[in-house]
Amino acid sequence: MENGVKVFHLTAEPVKQVIIPGRTFDLWGFNGSAPGPTIQATERDRVRIVFDNHLPEPTGIHWHGLEIPIEMDGVPGIGQKPVMPGEQFVYEFTLNQNGTFFYHSHMAMQEMVGMLGGFIIHPKTPYSPRVEKDYLIALQEYAVLPNSTIPNSMNMEFNWLTFNGKAGPASTPLIIRQGERVRIRIINLGMDHHPMHLHGFTFWETGREGARQPESLWHRGNTTLVGVAQARDIEFNADRVGDWMFHCHLPHHMMNQMSSNVGPMTRVGQGMQAGASMEEAMGILRDGHATSENKAPSLGRGLGVGSTTDMARANGPLSQTEADKAMANMPGMDHSQMPGMAMPEVAKNADQVPLFPQDAYMEGSMMAMDKDVDKPETYGLPTGWSGFIGGMMTLVRVLPAEQYEKIMDLKAKQGLAKQDGAK
Ligand SMILES: [Cu+2]
């Protein structure tokens, strides 16, 4: 607070964002993360946001949905001069609304590489009924080639889908004590709409971008479609214990690093095409024909130049000869010897069944990375759980008092350890 004004500092800068252990992306965000921190204030607060541009190009911050003067609206070249690299701009305004809002760069390409964050304005008079837990989940999506760390913001097909900058299973489960009332605010500033689905509970949709709805308009349901530039607030009574899934229901948004080399890699043993000749890289067939069983028509997903050799994705039934070859080409290592990696059980004739492989190599215990994503919030989950969570998925863990306290205790200890580390 400075003379009755609530002061925030926001710095736009390049950030290294760990999307999942082993995959760190070069993004642009705020104060070291993408998305940026959530700003929280209360209706009628006077707020000042001291904004520094540490990006190599001009920008401006738009306060999405706020009823404020045009000079504060943050559209470079219209309401204000662009904030140039190295420059500072001070935004200041009074909040006359309450609800779920967001801030973002008003340069479209910057928005696509991480430059957004939540802006919660709490009401002067508390909402009723009271909630014990109040979460915000920012939805984002990136298109990143397997060997790159830079999202392609021109691409329309996304292979990394995130909750608050993390793809499942690195997303953090929501920890709730049985009996609590929970609010989840979901904001979306990407290129897709996301049908957000909650297992086990029928929620009330209590708010939309910009405002809480009057109770007579609260929809009941278990899925809410969060459109681009929209927010949805949902509330429910967490009366039943369980590790309940909360996820976007678009199947491709529940997966990680989708690229079309998965089929050929797991089946025909061609492996990654690194080191292929120029002709092969250009898609010129050197043996067989275009529709031969180990080539397939190139109707797969593309993630831009360089990925096209991986587009063929044959999963028709293989002949006995090709099926034997595929099995022989499976990596010789014994997966059961590797921690967290047990070979998924597949049928003996799997390679001869049309459509195989679907999920056997995409999800399941073989993909588990429990240890890598271990944190207090994952305490007590079944071994191998992380193999079944990807993309825009997390868990709403409604826990009996004892287990809830145990996790809170672990979190407190982790916090203390961090403080010690900082000293
Ligand atoms: Cu989605």
292-326 pLDDT tens trace: 555 544 434 455 544 444 445 556 677 777 777 76
What residues are paired with 246 via a beta bridge? 198, 394
Please give the distance, rounded to the nearest whole angstrom, from the Cα atom of residue 202 to the centre of ligand 1: 20
pLDDT of res. 296: 45
Report the candidate in 350, 257, 251 with the shortest Cα–Cα distance to residue 310. 257
Please give the distance, rounded to the nearest whole angstrom, from the Cα atom of residue 224 to the centre of ligand 1: 11
Please give the distance, rounded to the nearest whole angstrom, from the Cα atom of residue 207 to the centre of ligand 1: 20
Report residue 109: phi and psi, to 5°: -70, -30
Spans in the chain with pLDDT lower than 70: 258-316, 326-345, 360-366, 422-423
Residues with CB under 5 A from ligand 1 (ion): 194, 248, 250, 253
Please give the distance, rounded to the nearest whole angstrom, from the Cα atom of residue 161 to the centre of ligand 1: 7
pLDDT of res. 66: 97
- HSE-CB at 380 with a 13 A cutoff on CA atoms is 19
DSSP-based helix, strand, coil % in the chain, nearest 5: 20, 35, 50
- Model pTM? 0.84
Please give the distance, rounded to the nearest whole angstrom, from the Cα atom of residue 226 to the centre of ligand 1: 9
Report the candidate in 234, 228, 180 with the shortest Cα–Cα distance to residue 202. 234
Report residue 139: phi and psi, to 5°: -95, 130
Please give the distance, rounded to the nearest whole angstrom, from the Cα atom of residue 362 to the centre of ligand 1: 18
- CB-based contacts of 49: which residues, under 8 Å, 6+ apart? 7, 8, 9, 10, 39, 61, 90, 91, 92
Residues 237-288 pLDDT 10s: 999 999 999 999 999 899 887 654 444 444 544 444 444 555 554 555 556 6
Whether the upstream peptide bond of residue 169 has omega within 30° of 0, thus cis, is yes
- CB-based contacts of 106: which residues, under 8 Å, 6+ apart? 59, 60, 61, 62, 74, 75, 76
pLDDT of res. 299: 37
Spatial separation of the C-alpha atoms in residues 159 and 146, rounded to whole Å: 10
Please give the distance, rounded to the nearest whole angstrom, from the Cα atom of residue 167 to the centre of ligand 1: 12
Spatial separation of the C-alpha atoms in residues 302 and 284, rounded to whole Å: 17
Q: Is 387 helix (H, G, I), strand (E, B) or coil?
A: helix
What residues are paired with 5 via a beta bridge? 2
Please give the distance, rounded to the nearest whole angstrom, from the Cα atom of residue 108 to the centre of ligand 1: 20
